[in-house]
Amino acid sequence: MKKILIVIYYWPPAGGAGVQRWLKFVKYFPQFGWKPTVITTIGGDYPAIDESLLAEVSAEVKVIRTKTPTFGGFFKTLCGKNLDVPYGSLEIKPGDSFLKKMSLWIRLNLVVPDARKIWNRYAFKAARKELLSDKYDAVVTSGPPHSTHLVGLKLKKKYNIKWIADFRDPWTNIDYLDKVKRLSITNKIDRNLEKRVINSCDKIVAINSDIIENFKAEDKSELILNGFDPDDFKGIKKQKIKKHFDINYFGNITIERNPEAVLRAVNHLIEEKKLTKIRINFWGNIANDVKEIIDKLDKNMVVNFHSYIPHEEMINVLVNSSLLLLIINSVGNNRGISTGKIFEYLGSGVEILGIGPEDGDAAKILKETKRGKMFDYDKVDDIAKFIEIKYKEWKEGKTFSPTREIEKYSKIKQTEQLVEILEKM
C-alpha cells in the first residue's frame, strides 16, 4: 500500500466546513490502496470545536499532533478576553479599540501570509522525522491557512518528494483582502510566497476553477470540488409531520452573505399571502453588523439564531429542513464560488434556495442536479415566489429524494479522482 503524508492545520476536534474535505479523503484513501498519515495541531486557533468528528478518524490512521503556538492568546491578551479572534476578516472598523486596530494592523502587514505560520516549524520537524523514518510516496499540504504550504515548499526543496498543494480558498486573491489597506511591500512578499509555492509543487488541487485561473498554472492544476459523504446520511430519520416551514442556513454569516433579501421575501409572504408558519433558522456564527440588520427587518419574529452544533447533529437538522438556504458571498469574482455546504445540502435530499450569481458555478450545480434554484441578491419578488411554491408543496406533504446527478459529488468518487492524480505523479 502506498503512503501519503498530509500536513493540515484544521483537523478534529476542530469543527467547521474546512475540516470535512480532508477528513473524508483520509477516510476513503485505504479503499484505493493509499495509507494516510496526518500531521496536525493541538489546540490551535479554531473557529469551532466539534469533538464528535474525532469518532470519524479510524484508529488505523496515524495522527501526529504537534505543539501549536496561537495568535488567539496574544489577541485576547492585547484586546480583551471577551473579543472573538478574527476569522475570515481583517477589516478594521471605526468603533474598534486602539489595541484591536493595532493588533489587526500588525497581523495584516507584518505577519505573512497568516498568523498560523508560527506552527510551521513544529509541522516541518514532525514531517521531516516521518520522511526520514518511513517511505512516503507523496506529501499534501492544504490551505487555508496558506502558511501550511510553506511547509510543503521546504519539504520539497530538502527531500524532493512529490507534493500536492490543495487550495480550499484563494490565497492573495481572497475576498477579505480587497477590503483592507495593506502595505505594498507586504502584498509583494505575499504574492512572491504564493508564486514560489505554485511554481514548486508538483500538482495544484483546488475546489473551484477561479482559484486555478488566478494562479495561471492550468497545466499542473486539477479541480476537485468539495463533496458529501453518503455515510453521513445513513440512518437519519425524516420527520413526517412538522409544525413549521423551516428555512435553515448552516455556517457563518458575514456582511458579504447578508440574508436581507430572503427576510424581505418572507415578510411579504406573511403580510400579503398570510403564510404564517415560516421560520428562518441560522445555525452558526453571525457577525454583529448582520445581526443588527436582521433584527431590524424581523418584524414578524420569524428568525431564530443558533450556535454551532456538532456535525452529526447538524446533518439531522439538515435532513429535516423544509428548505435550505445557500448564500454566495457578494464580492467580486464570485462566480467560481460554490462553497462546501452546497454538497451536503445536495446529499440531504432537501431543496435549496440559493442567493448569488445566477450564472455562477453554484447555480450550475443546482440546475444540473435539479435540487433548487439560484437568485440574484436583489430579486426579492422572485425569491418570494419560489418560497411560496415550496411552502405549498410542504403543506401538501410532498417529499423529494436525491437525484442520481448528485452521485459524482460523493466523497468516494472524489477520493478516487484524487488517487488517480497521485498515481500519475
Average pLDDT over residues 283-298: 91
Contacts of 364 (CB under 8 A, 6+ apart): none
> Measured between alpha carbons, how far is residue 391 from residues 248, 266, 375, 385 in Å?
14, 11, 17, 10
Which pLDDT score is estimated for 17? 81
Which pLDDT score is estimated for 222? 96
Measuring CA to CA, which residue among 117, 259, 254, 125 is closest to residue 189? 117
Instruction: Look at 266 and 405; give whichever has higher pLDDT.
Output: 266
Which pLDDT score is estimated for 112? 92
> Is the sign of the CA dihedral 175, 176, 179, 183 positive or negative?
negative
Long-range contacts of 333-336 (CB under 8 A, 24+ apart): 333/173, 333/210, 334/175, 334/360, 335/210, 335/359, 335/360, 335/361, 336/208, 336/209, 336/210, 336/211, 336/213, 336/360, 336/361
Which pLDDT score is estimated for 242? 80
Residue 76 has pLDDT above 60, yes or no: no
Q: Compute the distance between CA of residue 205 and CA of residue 417 in angstroms, rounded to an integer.
A: 11
Amino acid at 219: D
pLDDT band at 299 (very low <50, low <70, confident <90, very high): very high
- Looking at the DSSP bridge assignments, the partners of residue 62 are 37
Range of weakest confidence among 88-97, 124-133, 174-183, 361-370: 88-97
Which pLDDT score is estimated for 185? 95
Q: Compute the distance between CA of residue 15 and CA of residue 400 in angstroms, rounded to an integer.
A: 29
Instruction: Look at 35 and 178; give whichever has higher pLDDT.
Output: 35
Measuring CA to CA, which residue among 71, 29, 98, 85 is closest to residue 415? 29
Q: Compute the distance between CA of residue 342 and CA of residue 71 in angstroms, rounded to an integer.
A: 31
Q: What is the pLDDT of residues 78-93, one digit of tens each?
A: 545 555 555 555 565 6
163 grid coordinates: 507534493
Instruction: Look at 125 and 73; give whichever has higher pLDDT.
Output: 125
Which pLDDT score is estimated for 90? 59
Measuring CA to CA, which residue among 137, 224, 252 is closest to residue 418? 224
> Do the Cβ atoms of 303 and 283 come closer than 8 Å?
no
Q: What is the pLDDT of residues 16-39, one digit of tens each?
A: 888 999 999 999 999 999 999 999
Residue 273 has pLDDT above 90, yes or no: yes
> Do the Cβ atoms of 12 and 50 come closer than 8 Å?
yes
pLDDT band at 63 (very low <50, low <70, confident <90, very high): very high
Q: Compute the distance between CA of residue 20 and CA of residue 22 in angstroms, rounded to an integer.
A: 6
Which pLDDT score is estimated for 282? 96
Average pLDDT over residues 156-172: 96
What does the mean pLDDT of the chain come to? 90
Query: φ, ψ for residue 150 (rounded to 5)?
Result: -70, -25
Which pLDDT score is estimated for 91? 60
Which pLDDT score is estimated for 320? 94
Helices (H), 226-287: 260-273
Measuring CA to CA, which residue among 81, 78, 65 is closest to residue 115? 78
**3-state percent breakdown (helix, strand, coil) of the chain, nearest 5:** 45, 15, 35
Q: What is the pLDDT of residues 224-243, one digit of tens each?
A: 999 999 999 998 888 777 88
Instruction: Look at 399 and 294; give whichever has higher pLDDT.
Output: 294
Q: Compute the distance between CA of residue 329 and CA of residue 340 in angstroms, rounded to an integer.
A: 13
Contacts of 296 (CB under 8 A, 6+ apart): none
Domains and CATH numbers, the chain: 2-227+411-424 (3.40.50.2000), 230-406 (3.40.50.2000)
Q: What percent of the chain has pLDDT over 90?
A: 71
